[in-house]
């Protein structure tokens, strides 16, 4: 409908221009005639002059042609301005409708779920899940245990993609404290964040900390490590994060790992020395499935969603 309306305006403007050209042509198509007149040049003195005479119809043609040219320009400007105003008005109206629709949906959702679950539980679900703007995908937790001078050394690697599912950029301040139970040594081996196009956003260089990028690492009073960095994830985009550290435990391992944000699908891989038993206690919404196991390894998988602050407790003990 709008396209037909625009075509009508264009045809009208062309018609006015053609009419103006026709009038202009008619105004230029006349026979030249001269007229003799006497002009006073002084007291009792006159002078005879010959002038070009323009018929009144020619003047009318010229005047009307100029009017049509001006009308065509006015119509063109009016059409352009009107379309621009119409587009701006539509965009403004669309944003207002989207905002109203979102507000209505939120109110309806709140009203519905508040009748199904207690207010206190609903607020937690709303804050931690519904209003959450990021999720983790392709998550891998890897734990490698080995004997070292009558102690157990664990190297833990956490890898995931942090996806922004909102319509605006999201800033994620990351604060990691490594202070495991019964541990006396903590070494950061790798901390890296890559954008979706492979650009390094955050990087820790253990061999030359002067080359670190957008990250700070400090010791805690308890002998652990505190890692701080911030990443910004664009709308409908993701960053790829990898964090690896090693720590020492005397004789046995009692520790845990949890997630800050929701996870969709999680793989857990563990490797340990012969003569040890690994036990995992999950605190997850979905089942922790054992994919493979042997005397020196156990691999697990969680299919589906994992909520914030859910995770696992793991214990490694020597078999008597």
Query: Distance between CA atoms of 300 and 291, rounded to whole angstroms?
Result: 5
Flag whether 128 is in a domain. Answer: no
Flag whether 73 is in a domain. Answer: yes
Q: Terminus-to-terminus CA distance in the chain, angstroms?
A: 84
Flag whether 18 is in a domain. Answer: yes
Domain identity same for 164 and 286: yes
Q: In the prediction, which pLDDT does 184 show? A: 58
Query: Distance between CA atoms of 129 and 113, rounded to whole angstroms?
Result: 14
Buried b (16+ CB within 10 A) or exposed e, 275-291: ebebebebebebebeee
Residue pair 191/175 in contact (Cβ under 8 Å)? The answer is no
Flag whether 127 is in a domain. Answer: no
Of 53, 84, 113, the last residue of a domain is 113
Domain identity same for 276 and 145: yes
Domain identity same for 63 and 140: no
Number of folded domains in the chain?
Answer: 2
Of 113, 147, 167, the last residue of a domain is 113
Give the range with max mean pLDDT: 57-71, 80-94, 300-314.
300-314
- Segment 202-253, tens digit of pLDDT: 998 888 877 889 988 887 776 677 889 999 999 999 999 999 988 888 888 9
**What are the DSSP calls for 76-113, one per residue?**
HHHHHHHHHHHHHHHHHHHHHHHHHHHHHHHHHHHHHH
Domain identity same for 171 and 289: yes
Q: Within 10 A of 97 (CB to CB), how many other CB atoms are there? A: 10
Query: Distance between CA atoms of 240 and 74, rounded to whole angstroms?
Result: 56
Element (H, E) at 255: strand 253-258
**What is the domain range of residue 205?**
134-318
Residue with tokens 């696992």: 312
- Segment 136-180, tens digit of pLDDT: 999 999 999 999 888 899 999 999 999 999 889 999 888 887 765
Domain identity same for 14 and 91: yes
Domain identity same for 156 and 243: yes
Query: Distance between CA atoms of 65 and 22, rounded to whole angstroms?
Result: 8
Output the six-digit token pair for 30.
């006349």
């Amino acid at each position: 409908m709008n396209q037909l309306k625009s075509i009508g305006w264009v045809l009208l403007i062309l018609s006015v221009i053609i009419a103006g050209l026709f009038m202009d042509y008619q105004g230029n198509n006349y026979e030249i005639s001269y007229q003799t007149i006497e002009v006073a040049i002084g007291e009792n003195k006159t002078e005879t002059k010959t002038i070009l005479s323009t018929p009144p119809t020619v003047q009318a043609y010229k005047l009307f042609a100029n009017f049509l040219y001006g009308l065509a320009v006015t119509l063109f400007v009016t059409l352009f301005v009107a379309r621009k105003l119409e587009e701006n008005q539509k965009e403004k109206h669309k944003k207002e409708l989207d905002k109203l629709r979102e507000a209505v949906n939120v109110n309806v959702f709140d009203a519905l779920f508040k009748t199904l679950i207690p207010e206190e539980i609903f607020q937690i679900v709303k804050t931690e899940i519904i209003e959450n703007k990021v999720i983790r995908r392709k998550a891998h937790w890897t734990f490698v245990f080995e004997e070292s001078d009558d102690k157990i050394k664990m190297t833990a690697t956490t890898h995931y993609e942090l996806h922004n599912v909102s319509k605006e950029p999201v800033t994620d301040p990351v604060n990691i404290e490594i202070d495991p139970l019964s541990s006396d040594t903590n070494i950061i081996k790798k901390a890296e964040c890559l954008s979706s196009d492979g650009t390094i956003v955050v990087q820790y260089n253990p061999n030359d900390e002067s080359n670190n990028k957008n990250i700070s690492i400090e010791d805690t009073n308890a002998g652990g490590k505190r890692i701080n960095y911030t990443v910004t994830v664009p709308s409908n985009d993701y960053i790829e994060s990898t964090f690896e550290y090693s720590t020492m435990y005397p004789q046995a391992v009692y520790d845990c790992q949890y997630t800050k944000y929701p996870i969709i699908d999680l793989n857990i891989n563990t490797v340990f020395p012969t003569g040890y038993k690994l036990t995992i206690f999950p605190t997850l919404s979905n089942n922790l499935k054992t994919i493979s196991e042997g005397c020196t390894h156990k691999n697990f998988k969680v299919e589906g969603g994992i909520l914030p602050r859910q995770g696992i407790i793991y214990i490694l003990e020597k078999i008597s």
